[in-house]
Amino acid sequence: MSIVSDLELVSLTKRYGQTVAVDAISHHFRAGTYACLLGPSGCGKSSTLRMIAGHESVSDGSVVLAGRDVSHLPPAKRGTAMMFQNYALFPHLTVRDNVAFSLRMAGVDKPERHKRADEMLELVEMTQYAARKPDQLSGGQQQRVALARALITRPQVLLLDEPLSALDPFLRIRMRAELKRLQRELGISFIHVTHGQDEALALADDIIVMNNARIEQAGPAREVFSAPRTAFVARFMGGHNVLSLPQGQIALRSDAMSIAPAQGGRLDGKVSNIEYQGTHVALTAQVAGDQEITALLSDEAFFAAPTELGQVIGLNWSDQAAHPLSE
């Protein structure tokens, strides 16, 4: 559908007065990948996305797409397209005219823009709704229209700002599969901002974790989850315990923990919470140094030898399950 292109951020910086929202970040997005910018509110991920799109000016550094510095080009001239969190559809236009709007602005004649809009609506499975207005659509349908409208410009990179946040949990999971399908079919790069770890893991080839205006860790999704480099990444990705030992901090995967009778493990802990999660039971224990450790046990393992609140247990893990963390 379009040329597959690499995107590179070179010391990209955004300042608002004295506040640094994005602090000289550099990252290379491989062509044709699904990447998620992940982090808490205020970490700089949306400002980064908006600078790539051209909706926010660059204070320093550059955005390089297909070897061309696009930092100072208007959004329509960059080869990127952005899908906004609130979808921003025109209420007075039909679905077809919403999708075709950017082509109308570019002076494309009506038969051609309607033909291309219909192709896009077919791609997002919305053909039968072409004559409707946005207020006659559900949230999920509006999102598909917003996607079609962004894709009609044939971008090299599609930028998505928390695109699933307005949907209910069931629809969110369905739309995740839809986004992944579209990205594979089109073969272009998708860069998706989210603060949801589950969403990032489900969608991304690469995850870029941001914290305090900087990139804390970036890499393939499985690597970022399984081998966090800092305590922040371990905690933010979830599924890990961060434990301070005399020789330094380690991350321990909750599902790699096992429990034993008191004094039968590497560490003793007092059970402070038990949470049944269907296939698993999350058991949290208070250990020395006022630290908490969670063990994720299969429901079979837990109910074969249940423990109780206040009980002292032993906690075990294999050497392979422990990852040393940098400060």
Q: In which residue are the tokens 């400002």 written?
A: 47
User: At 135, is the secondary structure helix, strand, or coil?
Assistant: helix
**What's the pLDDT at 326?**
85
- Give per-residue pLDDT as tens, 157-196: 999 998 888 788 888 888 888 899 999 999 999 999 999 9
**Residues above pLDDT 90, as percent of the chain:** 76
> What pTM value is reported for the model?
0.88
Residue 254's pLDDT band (boundaries 50, 70, 90)? very high
7-226 shares its CATH topology with 239-324: no
Q: What are the domain boundaries of the chain? A: 7-226, 239-324
Give alpha helix (H) positions in the chain.
45-53, 95-99, 101-105, 110-123, 139-151, 169-186, 197-203, 221-226, 231-237, 299-304
Taking residue 198's Cβ as centre, other Cβ atoms within 10 Å add up to 12
Architecture per CATH, domain 239-324, reads as: Beta Barrel (2.40)
Taking residue 169's Cβ as centre, other Cβ atoms within 10 Å add up to 7
- Can you tell me the mean pLDDT for 248-270? 92
What is the DSSP pairing of strand 240-245 with strand 267-276? unpaired
Pick 7-226's CATH classification: 3.40.718.10, 3.40.190.10, 3.20.20.100, 3.40.50.300. 3.40.50.300
**What's the pLDDT at 2?**
45
Rounded Cα gap, residues 81 and 101, in angstroms: 13
- Give per-residue pLDDT as tens, 111-157: 999 999 999 999 888 999 999 999 999 888 998 899 999 999 889 99
